[in-house]
Structure 1
């Protein structure tokens, strides 16, 4: 049983200079993996004819499928279509259905139609045109020397529509793919190398078709077991046995056995308990509440937040005492405990989270260096605090504080 492999090529100078973040490749890889198609390589290149031609040929040598996004817009720097014509030795022709869609779209919006907009309906003659229900630039399906190539717009919403409505169903129908099954355990509280030490014997006995990957992210560590097999049911059953064995080896640091965010983990727990939450955030500036409300249905357990960056707001909104701030400072156990109590009263929730810290790059002192964070979580009946000394840049310190705080509340609820 051989793997079906894919290369993903993203085209655009904006990707190379960091102006645009490539989210397309990650989404495509997940969707392909669900079909049992393995992503062999992801390549980003600029809007350069020679680079596109060379990369197409190179990736076709190592992959069964080549997926391409970007370079299909109406401007002069969008050169993917003419370059595809050169690669497939064909010419551009007008696609009538796409032309009518473009005309209708502009006319329905009362917009003038430029010649460059009409050029969106020009496609390589040898391709199968994939209608773009979400935009003007169509997708294009090619086949050459037993390999499949698909070119799609770089706009994520449009690419996803073409993938979901046409490409993925076509691949599922035409290809006999092996099973590729993933199970993920998320842990917190122990570094990657220490977890690996615990799992030495477990890893040594894994069969060749099951792999363990360590994926650290901020203060969380994902342990992903991946199994390959001919039969999906049998492969999943075998992987489940190994996964539960691994999970049983790490009971003290396991956060969840699902590949979900810490916001969703906490949200599921609050829903199960029928409890509500609010936050009092200083140094995180709303990051915790952002992650909580990113989960659909969070309104059933999240009531609100007090973003109290300045000391006067800590006093005015949460009732933090002036003498507490004078004696201990904003970044202190005493202050976050008063912030927590104030948030519980102000927001009238069952649980709350309070954080205060120095995220950097400035603001630290010898007594409280950059990265010092105090966290308080709890309810009216039970509160706990913890201090962290973070050592990263401002953005990562904020992210890690949010994860630590949400996980601390998770542990308190389960205790």
Structure 2
């Protein structure tokens, strides 16, 4: 089955927002065994939508549109789809009652006729009821072809994809079984890993594919296969996963479907009933953000301090001023003082601290751009390591976040 994703919106085309919707839709479709062959972004104009429909229905079995379903006049998708399928709009009473309920309970501005008009829907479409918003999704089916229109608000679209779209596709179309297993590694580059596992890669059968997915400080290794029986496929791929895992055991930090290293950290801290705090400078709270992105982080994560300015390191984190003057704000001594003090202030068992120079200039630091120090405090020891993370600001920051997570994971794993 071939699928096509079309996102609608000038804000995407001009770079005002990033098209995360297409990424999510492609991921869940692929996981369900649906091959995504095309992705495109078009303006919210009738001609563009019609052109996408004409082209898409010739080459794809499933077209999924995202966006253009708002109540304002610049949202053309619903009207264009209605005309394209030679249909008419009719009032859906259930959707209208839902819209009125949302306005009564959550929205302070009065409901308008424009808002109520979102309950006018094509009579031939199956309504995909949107519990999270005012714009429902729509499903049009013509034989073995389906066209789906979803709202562009990400959390609304995600719910409808999971709860409405994927189940319908699975019920109405014959899909192959598909199995993806993604191993996450830290601390070794793509080419070095490829050299290490080259015999394994060369020995893979034709029906198993290996992909390298590098990012800053980590490389994901994805094994993929398709077949007819899901359980047989799972068992088949598992054998190759075990072999690959053994080859990268020293740099392996979990599987993507398990939540990656952040999930591993959470599992270890919860299981060992230990707590964690962070003190961040140049990483700006990103370590804390990645940790609390998983539900249940409050069971082990005490909190964090973003001490970006030198003054805040001295006043809030109580780093001695003479220590800063003697060693520089970017130094092993300051990193250790930060981690010791945040552990004490937050009454945590473990702590992480970062201080570094992410550029573009040195600021208060004596160190070159890219030099960072990451400190770890445990119930038994305190230490800091220095790294040179390059010259690009984004690269320096994200590599440092990944390295800090790697370091704390090793400490709690061995505790």
The TM-score with structure 2 as length reference comes to: 0.91
- Check the 8 A contact 1:135/1:158 in 2, yes or no: yes
Q: Cα distance, 1:65 vs. partner? A: 0.9
- Check the 8 A contact 2:328/2:365 in 1, yes or no: no
Q: Cα distance, 1:186 vs. partner? A: 0.6
Q: Cα distance, 1:247 vs. partner? A: 0.9
Question: Which residue number corresponds to residue 376 of structure 1?
Answer: 375
- Check the 8 A contact 2:4/2:62 in 1, yes or no: yes
- Where do 1:261-410 residues align within 5 Å? 261-363=260-362, 368-410=367-409
Structure 1 stretch displaced more, 235-244 or 322-331: 322-331
- Counterpart CA distance in 1 for 2:320 and 2:364 is 23
Q: 1:76 aligns with which of 69, 73, 78?
A: 73
- Where do 1:9-408 residues align within 5 Å? 9-103=6-100, 105-106=102-103, 112-144=110-142, 146-259=144-257, 260-363=259-362, 368-408=367-407
Change (3 A) 1:365 1:199: farther
Gaps of 5+ in 1: none
Deviations 1:123-155, CA, capped at 9 Å, x for gaps: 334322333333222222112352111111112
The TM-score with structure 1 as length reference comes to: 0.91
Q: Cα distance, 1:111 vs. partner? A: 5.2
- Check the 8 A contact 1:130/1:162 in 2, yes or no: yes
Structure 1 stretch displaced more, 372-381 or 177-186: 372-381
- Counterpart CA distance in 2 for 1:355 and 1:184 is 29
Secondary structure, aligned partner of 2:330: coil
Deviations 1:210-239, CA, capped at 9 Å, x for gaps: 111111122111111111111000100010
Structure 1 stretch displaced more, 282-291 or 325-334: 282-291
Change (3 A) 1:305 1:113: closer
Secondary structure, aligned partner of 2:174: coil
Instruction: Provide the aligned length of Structure 1 versus Structure 2.
Output: 412
Secondary structure, aligned partner of 1:78: coil
Structure 1 stretch displaced more, 231-240 or 194-203: 194-203
Q: CA RMSD in A?
A: 2.4
- Counterpart CA distance in 1 for 2:330 and 2:59 is 55
Deviations 1:90-123, CA, capped at 9 Å, x for gaps: 3434444434444555466685443322332333
Change (3 A) 1:261 1:360: farther
Secondary structure, aligned partner of 2:387: strand
Change (3 A) 1:72 1:392: farther
- Check the 8 A contact 2:328/2:364 in 1, yes or no: no
- Check the 8 A contact 1:179/1:235 in 2, yes or no: yes
